[in-house]
Amino acid sequence: MKIYDLSQEVFSSRVFPGDPSPRRRPVSSMEEGKACNLTEVTMGTHNSTHMDAPRHFYKDGRTIDQLDLQKCVGPCKVIAHSGKLLPETVEQALADGTKRLLIKGEIEITLEAARKMTEMELWFLGVEGLTVGPMKNPMPVHLELLGHEVVILESTLMGEVLEGSYFLVSAPVKYGGIDGAQARPLLLDFEG
């Protein structure tokens, strides 16, 4: 079995414009004679590889600790694409009943493509970019997907992953009552 770690290292990861950058501060250090090492970490909920909950764009939407984890674990398809993602490509990718989709490459998901995803009852969408929507205006695509409770995974690394079928394990950190959380998604290739 081969395991692909799709997560970015937190402190060196790209940050969405306007979001806080992750920071760390030693609280206790063995080098200074303390009994253990302990670090304080501060960051935004959408830093590094992370998952969005409906609360990210919906005032009363589900929070990250309320996500249906069944959507986050199971068979998954990886496709490669670059540029605008159109409904036709989505339809082709999901025609076999795929419920969890990872898209490798620098893409811009159109609102029409997002609507096709929800129409075809996609459960989980992961991308390499900082956002599933266009950088200039990501809100409409988020509203479409999160409004249908599609789990969103952003800022992944899929450089070594080939197109094909895998088993996905991706759960967010269990922060109570908030809009998103970091995740460490793993793709399992049982034949690799």
**Does this model's pTM top 0.85?**
yes
Q: In this structure, are residues 54 and 162 in contact, taking their beta carbons and an 8 Å threshold?
A: no
How do residues 157-176 score in pLDDT, each as one tens digit? 999 999 999 999 999 999 99
Q: How far is CA 128 from the centre of its chain?
A: 8
DSSP assignment of 138-173? -HHHHHHHHHTT-EEEES---TTPPSEEEEEE--B-
- Provide the pLDDT confidence category of residue 56 given band limits of 50, 70 and 90: very high
- Please count the other Cβ atoms lying within 10 Å of the Cβ belonging to residue 8: 19
Domains of the chain: 2-13+46-189 (3.50.30.50)
Question: Is the per-residue pLDDT at 135 higher than 90?
Answer: no
Nearest to 2 by CA among 159, 172, 160: 160
Radius of gyration of the chain (CA): 17
pLDDT interval class at 85 (50, 70, 90): very high
Could you give the C-alpha distances from 99 to 23, 94, 117, 118, 121, in angstroms and in order? 35, 7, 9, 10, 7
